[in-house]
Amino acid sequence: MTNPVIRICDEAFTPDPLGGLFWAREKTLIVSDLHFEKGSSFAERGVLLPPYDTKTTIDRVRALMRRYAPGRVISLGDAFHDGRAEDRLDANDLQALADLVKSVEWIWIEGNHDPAPPKRLAARSEKQLRIGEISFVHEPTANARGEIAGHLHPCASIVHERRRLRRRCFAVGAEQIVMPALGAYTGGLNILDLAFESLGAVFQPWVMGEKGVYPIARDKIRPDTLRRHGDRAAS
């Protein structure tokens, strides 16, 4: 299917089922909350998760870059799970990531997990960035007009045809988009959580499937029945 576009401030953005957002007019690809080396941060605490999360995430970003051939990539913060994550990168992953960063105009937006820019993957680094009417920032701001942010890891729990599905989503407000987390080991925060409500907008989920991104009406989504701890990246 061809993906429908999300419109805010008269600009059109194409959401991709891999979790990226493409702004065709600016040839800009936006990715968020990559959380590199989250797996090894668990390993430090004795939870030996499969050590392939960074590679999986890099593969996703590379696939997005192949699909859209952007001139610019904006990483919306929390690209690294913690301050030492960059040092834990496997040599192959480091090389692969460096290749991607070098190939375009790459911009790191700082996140709460990675307030300092990476040392070995040098690129432009900003707290916040503005292109035309649109501003790019890690943590979404209340009552924002023309903002693309990350941080909250939105997901939606859909009940339809006696099935319940919980999937990552783009949270789309009238003039604001909260990006899904793209990292392989990132969990999600239900779009009906207070954190979204307190932004002063009504968000509609654009849900990521395998083949497409699907806008879903709010009457089909539900809060989580059980509180899911840690699903929200330890923020």
Partner 1 sequence: MSRDDKALPSPFQEWFDGRGWAPRGHQLDCLRAADAGRSFLLIAPTGGGKTLAGFLPSLIALNRRERPETGRLHTLYISPLKALAVDIARNVQTPVAEMGLDIAIETRTGDTPQSRRQRQRLNPPDILLTTPESLSLLLAAPDASDFFGGLNALILDELHALASNKRGHLLSLAIARLRKIAPNLALAGLSATVPDPKPLLNFLTPQNDPAASQAELVLGAPGAQPVVDVLVSKERIPWSGHSGRHSFLEVYEQIRKASLTLVFVNTRSQAEATFAALWDLNEDGLPIALHHGSLNVDQRRKVEAAMAKGVLRAVVCTSTLDLGIDWGDVDLVVQMGAPKGASRLTQRIGRANHRMNEPSRALLVPANRMEVLECIAAKQAIEEGALDGAPPRVGALDILAQHILGMACSGPFQADDLYEEIRSAAPYATLSRKDFDDALAFVSTGGYSLSRYERYRKLIVSPDGDYQVRDRRVAQQYRMNVGAIVEAPSLNIRLAGKTSKRAGYKLGEAEEWFFEGLAPGDAFYFGGEVLRLERIEGTDAVVTRTISDNPRLPVWGGAKFPWSTFLADKVRYMLYHPETWSAYPEQVQFWLNKQREVAKLPKPDELLVETFPYADRYFLVCYPFDGWLAHQTLGILLTRRLERLGAQPIGYVPTEYALSVWARRDMRDVDMSALFDEDMLGDDLESWLADALLMKRTFRNCAVIAGLIERKHPGQEKTGRQIAFSSDLIYDVLREHEPDHLLMRAAWDDAAGGFLDLARLQALLTRVAGKIAVSALKRVSPLAVPVMLEIGREIVARDASEAVLQSASEAIIEEAMGSA
Beta bridge partners of 170: 206
Q: Choose, by CB under 8 A, the member of 2, 10, 142, 162 that binds partner 1.
A: 162
CB 189 within 8 A of CB 171: no
Minimum Å distance from CB 80 to partner 1? Answer: 17
What single string gives the DSSP state of each residue in 104-150?
Answer: SEEEEEP-SS--SPPSSS--EEESEEEETTEEEESS--TT-SSEEE-
Per CB under 8 A, 2 contacts partner 1: no
Q: Choose, by CB under 8 A, the member of 47, 66, 119, 142 that binds partner 1.
A: 47
Return the residues of window 139-158 that contact partner 1 according to CB under 8 A. 158
Q: Choose, by CB under 8 A, the member of 165, 198, 200, 202 that binds partner 1.
A: 165
Per CB under 8 A, 85 contacts partner 1: no
Question: What are phi and psi for residue 230, nearest 5 degrees?
Answer: 80, -10
Maximal CA-CA distance, the chain: 50
Q: Choose, by CB under 8 A, the member of 3, 18, 26, 43 that binds partner 1.
A: 43
Per CB under 8 A, 130 contacts partner 1: no
CA distance 177 to 12: 12
CA distance 23 to 13: 5
Tell me whether residue 134 or residue 221 sits nearer to partner 1 (CB atom). Answer: 221
Tokens of 126: 């900003």
Site string for partner 1, 199-218 (x = CB under 8 A): --------x-xxxx-xxxx-
Q: Choose, by CB under 8 A, the member of 24, 56, 124, 133 that binds partner 1.
A: 56
Q: Choose, by CB under 8 A, the member of 10, 46, 66, 119 that binds partner 1.
A: 46
Element (H, E) at 177: strand 176-178
Residues at the contact surface with partner 1, assessed by CB under 8 A? 40, 42-53, 55-56, 90, 158-165, 167, 184-187, 207, 209-212, 214-217, 220, 222, 225-231
